[in-house]
């Protein structure tokens, strides 16, 4: 029997909570908005996790979504509008980052069933869980450098811990990772077919051993990236700077389709974002999740006060001309001091977790 907990945790019609058997179940419920994560959803999910952490009747948490997307990110129009009026929405990001850290540290199994695209804020509420279950419809992407932003919501912790140079490649290019590559690279822990989601959910509700239950329902998908492109990815993205990566790709582009495709992707990104993201991912490899979130809060506080994020949203979402005018416009024009400034301590105090 299901227990409806919507009034207990809030979130309105955007996110639903129920307890079924041994499971606390979260459903992202904004399918028309591709389940973009709002501030209210963040706060409601945090309340639910706080309650379920100490509730002996809840043995695990399952998060899933309605519609064809898991979650296409954060609600960037609201963020854009707030920033353009001078009211930098840092509180939203502070609350979101605290939630990401809470999911990572959650002491019970946290099972994300990802049956569609997961980007930005959608990554933050799923891929930090203990069990990341992907279907053939799943796609992971962190395209933030293309809108003058950076791979946040814990990207600095998640990406450097993937196989080889895969995390840096995903973070800089924004390329989508499908089911087979997610399992290979370490993003997903389990793969299932979409048709198997309902029986898996019913089995999890029964409260049996989570790992054993998942093992009984999973499949082994083939990789999507072939060996040639995988080798090229590791060759180029294992280098020590964005400039070195670009130079290596340029040297190979005449003979290598991967190099040509990747250069085309990087040329569309904000130069500042690429340089900040590279340093962020490199630093994150040596940091705890909590310290990664503090670092990301420093970065987001500077990017919200800058120009490229708003220009990127304008070009992608407002005017939809897909022609952002980045400032500075080239990698060579971005100073090392400007990049370093994104990581400096905040005068008003650091993110409290």
**pLDDT one-digit tens code per residue, 82-131:** 878 878 889 999 999 999 999 999 999 999 999 999 999 999 999 999 99
> What tokens appear for 152 in the block?
């946040």
Backbone angles phi, psi at 120, to 5 degrees: 45, -120
Q: How confident is the model at residue 333 (pLDDT cuts 50, 70, 90)?
A: very high
Confidence at residue 77, expressed as pLDDT on a 0 to 100 scale: 82
The domains found in the chain, sorted by start residue, are 1-353 (3.90.226.10)
Q: For the segment 161-218, what is each residue's pLDDT rounded down to a tens digit?
A: 999 999 999 999 999 999 999 999 999 999 999 999 999 999 999 988 999 999 999 9
Given this model, what pLDDT does residue 249 score? 98
| Relative orientation angle of helices 166-173 and 227-237, to the nearest 10 degrees | 80
Structure tokens at 263: 């250069």
Other beta carbons within 10 angstroms of residue 18's beta carbon come to 14
Q: Does 1 score more than 70 pLDDT?
A: no
* Token pair listed for 14: 């955007």
pLDDT band at 339; cut points 50, 70, 90: very high
- Residue 160, pLDDT > 60, answer yes
Give the whole-angstrom CA distance, residue 157 versus residue 176: 18
- pTM for the full model? 0.95
pLDDT attached to residue 74: 76
Whether the per-residue pLDDT at 78 is higher than 70: the answer is: yes
pLDDT band at 80 (very low <50, low <70, confident <90, very high): confident
pLDDT value, residue 287: 98
pLDDT 10s digits, 208-247? 899 999 999 999 999 999 999 999 999 999 999 999 999 9
**Closest by Cα among 274, 268, 295, 280 to 353:** 295
**Reduced to 3 states, what is the DSSP secondary structure of residue 39?**
helix
pLDDT at 7: 63
pLDDT band at 348 (very low <50, low <70, confident <90, very high): confident
Q: Which residues are catalytic?
A: 74, 121, 144, 152
Place of tokens 């090392």: 336
pLDDT of residue 75: 73
- The per-residue pLDDT for 245 is 98
Three-class DSSP category at 330: coil
Residue 2: pLDDT band with limits 50, 70, 90:
low
Q: Are 61 and 49 in contact (CB under 8 A)?
A: yes
Name residue 4's beta-bridge partners: 18
Report the relative pairing of strands 190-191 and 139-141 from DSSP bridges: unpaired
Mean pLDDT, the chain, whole residue set = 95
**Chain-centroid distance, C-alpha 305:** 22
- Average pLDDT of the segment spanning 284-306: 97
pLDDT (0 to 100) of residue 207: 85
Residue 320's pLDDT is what?
Answer: 94
């Amino acid at each position: 029997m299901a227990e409806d907990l919507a009034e207990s945790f809030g979130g309105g019609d955007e996110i639903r909570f129920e307890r079924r058997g041994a499971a606390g179940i979260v459903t992202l419920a904004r399918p028309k908005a591709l389940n973009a994560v709002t501030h209210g959803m963040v706060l409601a999910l945090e309340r639910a996790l706080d309650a379920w952490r100490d509730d002996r009747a809840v043995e695990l948490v399952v998060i899933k979504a309605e519609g064809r997307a898991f979650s296409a990110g954060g609600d960037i129009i609201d963020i854009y509008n707030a920033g353009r009026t001078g009211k930098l929405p840092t509180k939203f990001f502070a609350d979101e980052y605290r939630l990401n850290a809470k999911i990572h540290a959650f002491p019970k199994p946290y099972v994300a069933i990802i049956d569609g695209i997961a980007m930005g804020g959608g990554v933050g509420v799923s891929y930090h869980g203990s069990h990341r279950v992907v279907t053939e419809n799943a796609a992971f992407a962190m395209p933030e450098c293309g809108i003058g932003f950076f791979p946040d919501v814990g990207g600095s912790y998640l990406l450097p811990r993937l196989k080889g140079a895969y995390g840096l490649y995903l973070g800089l290019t924004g390329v989508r990772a499908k089911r087979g590559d997610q399992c290979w690279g370490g993003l997903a822990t389990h793969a299932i077919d979409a048709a198997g989601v309902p029986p898996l959910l019913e089995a999890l509700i029964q409260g049996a051993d989570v790992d054993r239950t998942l093992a009984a329902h999973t499949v082994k998908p083939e990789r999507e990236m072939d060996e040639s492109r995988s080798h090229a990815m590791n060759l180029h993205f294992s280098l020590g700077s964005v400039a070195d990566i670009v130079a290596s790709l340029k040297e190979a582009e005449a003979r290598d389709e991967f190099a040509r495709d990747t250069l085309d992707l990087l040329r569309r990104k904000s130069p500042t974002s690429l340089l900040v993201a590279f340093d962020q991912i490199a630093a994150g490899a040596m940091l705890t999740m909590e310290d990664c979130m503090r670092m990301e809060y420093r970065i987001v506080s500077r990017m919200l006060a800058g120009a490229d994020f708003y220009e990127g949203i304008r070009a992608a979402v407002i005017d939809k001309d897909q022609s952002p005018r980045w400032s500075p416009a080239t990698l060579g024009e971005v100073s090392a001091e400007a990049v370093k400034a994104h990581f400096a301590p905040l005068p008003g105090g650091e993110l409290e977790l």
